[in-house]
Amino acid sequence: MKYEIKAHGKSEMRLKELWQFRELLLMLALRDFKVRYAQTFLGILWAFLQPLVTLLIFILIFDKAIKVNTGSVPYPIFALAGMTVWNYFSYVVAQAGNSIIGAQSIITKIYFPRLIIPLSKALVGVIDFVITLFFLAGVLFYYKFAPSFTIFYLPLFLLLLLILSGSVGILFSALAIRFRDIQHTIPFIIQVGMYLSPIAYPASLVPEKYRLFYDLNPLTGIIEGFRWCITGTEGLPVKSIVFSVVITSFLCIISTYYFRKVEEVIADII
């Protein structure tokens, strides 16, 4: 193995190198998962409990009190589909955003592609995501609600969700190195984001004149599309999805490019 260390190298993607470190990525994700529920009484049950409680609150407020109209889809299925997407996104952004700062003891001691750290958080999130999917399947079964053929489109939206969450997580993790302020804004962004995304209510409730701004939120298209895959009702929200794809691609390029730039000086400024 030959390589050069130069003062001013180009910031390349170095995907091959990333692939060489795939075992480390897996180990870091596994470590996070094991540690998360260590010494808790309920252990992995927490992964079920959290969405369950949120769902109950949503039902109470949006279904019983506000009586949001979700057409032929039972409200719990409607809300849970949105939550599944949202929970993954918010978990990855929150965890990845603080991940580099949290890993500074490793970063200043050993070399590996730093991108692995936020990526490992995106990987851990997948475990919770799958658990929530099982939960969703249970609720579908309870309501004897058979998903339509549109469910075969689901992988497309999952891919979009993975890329979007990863990109935003990577971007925040890099920004947080330079600006510690980011750490404090992440919980705020997540809180606001939950109300600005069609999780507990359908996007059709948003007045038409604000709809363009609403669609700028790349999660709008993903959540609506995800829900369309599960329930197969209403029309496919094409416009929102196009917005989602464009914004997600943009974020993906920007975040990895910026991360690679910051990566070179991480150990010096962290």
Min separation Cβ 169 and another protein, Å = 19
- The H or E element that residue 187 is part of is helix 181-195
> 68, 102, 178, 236: which one contacts another protein (CB under 8 A)?
178
Q: How far apart are CA 195 and CA 205, in angstroms?
A: 13
> 14, 64, 180, 239: which one contacts another protein (CB under 8 A)?
180
- Check residue 261 for interaction with another protein (CB under 8 A): no
> 10, 12, 39, 67: which one contacts another protein (CB under 8 A)?
39
Span near another protein by CB under 8 A; candidates 31-39, 214-222, 235-243, 248-256: 31-39
Residues 85-114 touching another protein, rule: CB under 8 A, are: 105-112
Q: How far apart are CA 155 and CA 161, in angstroms?
A: 10
Q: How far apart are CA 113 and CA 165, in angstroms?
A: 19
Q: Which is nearer to another protein, 23 or 208 (CB)?
A: 23
- Check residue 12 for interaction with another protein (CB under 8 A): no
- Check residue 146 for interaction with another protein (CB under 8 A): no
Q: Which is nearer to another protein, 112 or 257 (CB)?
A: 112
Matching residue, tokens 């506000």 = 66
Radius of gyration in angstroms for the set of CA atoms belonging to the chain, rounded to a whole number: 20
- Check residue 265 for interaction with another protein (CB under 8 A): yes
Q: Which is nearer to another protein, 111 or 195 (CB)?
A: 111
Q: Quote the DSSP letter at residue 39.
A: T
Q: How far apart are CA 168 and CA 189, in angstroms?
A: 12
Structure tokens at 171: 């971007």
Min separation Cβ 190 and another protein, Å = 19
- Check residue 174 for interaction with another protein (CB under 8 A): no
Span near another protein by CB under 8 A; candidates 26-34, 148-156, 188-196, 201-209: 26-34
Other Cβ atoms closer than 10 A to 13: 12
3-state secondary structure at position 69: coil
Q: Which phi and psi angles does 187 have, rounded to 5°? A: -60, -35
Q: Quote the DSSP letter at residue 203.
A: G
Q: Which is nearer to another protein, 65 or 269 (CB)?
A: 269
Q: Quote the DSSP letter at residue 234.
A: S
Binding interface with another protein (CB under 8 A): 1-7, 9, 23-24, 27-28, 31, 34-35, 38-39, 105-112, 177-181, 264-265, 267-270
